[in-house]
Amino acid sequence: MFDTVPSANVRTTRVVSSDQLRDLLADTGATVHDSVRLSELTTLRVGGRALLAECASTEALIATVNALDAAGLAVLLVAGGSNLLVDDAGFDGVVVRIGTTGVELDTGGVVAEAGANWDEVVAATVAAGLGGLECLSGIPGSAGATPVQNVGAYGVEVASLLRRVRLLDRRTGEVRWAEPAELGFGYRTSVLKHSDDAVVLAVEFALDPSGMSAPLRYGELAKVLGAAEGQTRPVDEVRAQVLRLRAGKGMVLDAADHDTWSAGSFFTNPVVTEDQLPLVLAAIAAHVGADVKVPTYPAPDGTKLSAGWLIERAGFAKGFPGEDAAARLSTKHTLALTNRGAATAADIVALARTVRTGVQQRFGVTLEPEPVTVGLSL
Query: Residue 309: what residue type?
Result: W
Listing DSSP states for 232-295 in one string gives --BHHHHHHHHHHHHHHTT-S--TT-GGGSEEEESBPPPEE-TTTHHHHHHHHHHHH-TTSPPP
Distance CA 152, CA 188 (A): 7
Q: Among 49, 166, 170, 188, which one carries the catalytic annotation?
A: 188
Catalytic status, residue 160: no
The widest CA-to-CA distance across the chain, in whole angstroms, is 67
Sheet hosting strand 49-55, strand order edge to edge: 31-37, 49-55, 94-98, 75-78
In the three-class reduction of DSSP (H, G, I as helix; E, B as strand; rest coil), residue 335 is classed as coil
Residues 6+ apart with CB under 8 A from 33: 51, 52, 53, 54
Distance CA 165, CA 45 (A): 29
Q: Among 164, 265, 313, 328, which one carries the catalytic annotation?
A: 265
Catalytic status, residue 188: yes
- Which uninterrupted H or E stretch holds 372? strand 372-374
**CA atoms 98, 370, 294, 319: torsion sign:** negative
Catalytic status, residue 246: no
Residues in the chain, total: 378
Distance CA 227, CA 70 (A): 55
- Residues with catalytic annotation? 188, 265, 370
